[in-house]
Amino acid sequence: MSPLPGLVGQADVGGDIVVDCGAVIVGSGAGGATMAAELSEAGVDVIVIEEGGYHPTESFGTNSCRALRTLYRDGGGGMAVGRPSVLFAEGRCVGGSTVVNGGMSWRTPARVLARWAAGGVTAISEPDMEPYFARAEGRHSVGLQDPGTVGRDSELFRGGAEAKGWTVLPNRRNQLHCAGTNNCTNGCPTGAKRSMLVTSVPRALSLGARLFADCRVDRVTRSGAAVTGVTGHFIRQGGRAGPRMTVRARAVIVAGGAVQTPALLARSGLRSASGTLGRNLSLHPNATVIAFFDEDVTGWQGVHQAFQVREFTPEGLLLTATNLTPPMLAGIMPGHGRELGELMADYNRVVTAGPLVSDSGTGRVRNVPGLGAQVFYRLTDSDAARVVRGVELTGQALFAAGARRLLLPFDGTPEARGPGELRRLLSRPVPKRSIQLYSIHLMGTARMNDDPRRGVTDSFGEFHGVPGLFVADASLFPGPTGINPMETVIALAMRNARQLVERRSRYAI
């Protein structure tokens, strides 16, 4: 018996299927699940298709290796090729990346909305978006942490930043009485993190939506200019292709994220008049400073990320401390064998922190025969300089907090054992190719703009020139948000779903 009403997994399907619905949604993350819930609430017959599997809350725990294998695409090891290349992670499960992110929930800054509006997006001002932000926050229990759930690593970082006189804000997260188990990236084992897995997905299904898990969409289908649905296949255990699937629908909503969405659209033979489909990728490059303290920090106790330093947002820098699980930390530690083992032996004395850069560089997504969707990214010289600046600021805060030494995210750079040595090391040119970067915020590859010559979709996510085809994820962003993008995705999906419902007669849904 299915654990959720309307859920169909690969084991439930014995042969090829053909089904009909009003709207089919590709992806069950922040955008897709929100659209599913909003449209189902309005009485639309919805089918959601998710390439990943269904993993309930009770299956989550401390096993990071299992989580990387079952909840992430490519084990969390995506790569944006460039100089330097940037490691990135995408969720691939029911609930998408909301299942494995830290749950940070921030409204799009007013200055960003104003920039988007000036660039050609309508109904995007702060007053326009306020009701959708409020609705998103209410639906997902956005608020501050309960007392006693903030870990020592976060407190040390906050203390160091405040000692420098910097502005520190407590994180707003989509959580309801988070227990501070610090398993966010493994899937929340208590259900306190209000991911799509425990909010919009079950809500949509309770309202009559259907969900196909373990199911890959290969193409969006069309008749003339209008969309007619999608085709694809279920994925058997071990990754084998299973039965074929055809969904006939009058509206198609693609919400696979900033890599998979443009890849699917291009694979379906779609092109944008602007030539921007798959281009304009932003990814908020992150760098990690590894600090060793004399005291036992036990950073794995307490919430994943409790505070943000906003002092340097005018420079496009956001500073945070985020605990990494042992496999994730080992993946960025220098050395191997005995050297790596000796470093990891000090895990309980480690604090990891670093900058997030609101980037000016851009990348693109391309389908490469035999390899699928591939990502390419160019870090600009100015962004590289901001990474170095952010690393130095992070190091200053960590030394002010009592760190005894730092490992820096630059190949070939020795460790720093004090503020003076940190300044000296970073006063010399840092080769761009030596910078170690990662990303979990990919945006902008199907940007919205009312001018078809400048964007892929209109201001409400409808693909220019293809009636009934919509995009509902961070691909829509005209540029980086400079903060965690999840709430922006949810609010835009709510806004765009309302517009679609108001115009439902156009699509007969």
Please give the positions annotated as active site.
441
What would you report as the CA-atom Rg of the chain, rounded to the nearest whole angstrom? 22
Contact 468, 227 (CB under 8 A): yes
Question: H or E stretch including 331?
Answer: helix 326-332
What are the φ/ψ torsions at residue 350 (nearest 5 degrees)? -100, 140
Q: Which two tokens stand for residue 414?
A: 């020795």
Rounded (10°) angle between helices 152-163 and 381-400: 100
The structure tokens listed for 352 are 């990891």
Do the Cβ atoms of 357 and 284 come closer than 8 Å? yes
Q: Which residues have CB under 8 Å from 82's CB, separation 6+?
A: 363, 376, 377, 378, 379
Query: Between vectors from CA 73 to CA 72 and to CA 78, what angle results, nearest 5°?
Result: 110
The rounded distance, in Å, linking the Cα atoms of 490 and 28 is 12
Residues 6+ apart with CB under 8 A from 22: 39, 44, 45, 46, 249, 250, 251, 507, 508, 509
- Residues facing 494 on adjacent strands: none
Query: ∠ CA 138-144-147 to the nearest 5 degrees?
Result: 135
Whole-angstrom distance, CA of residue 449 vs CA of residue 458? 5
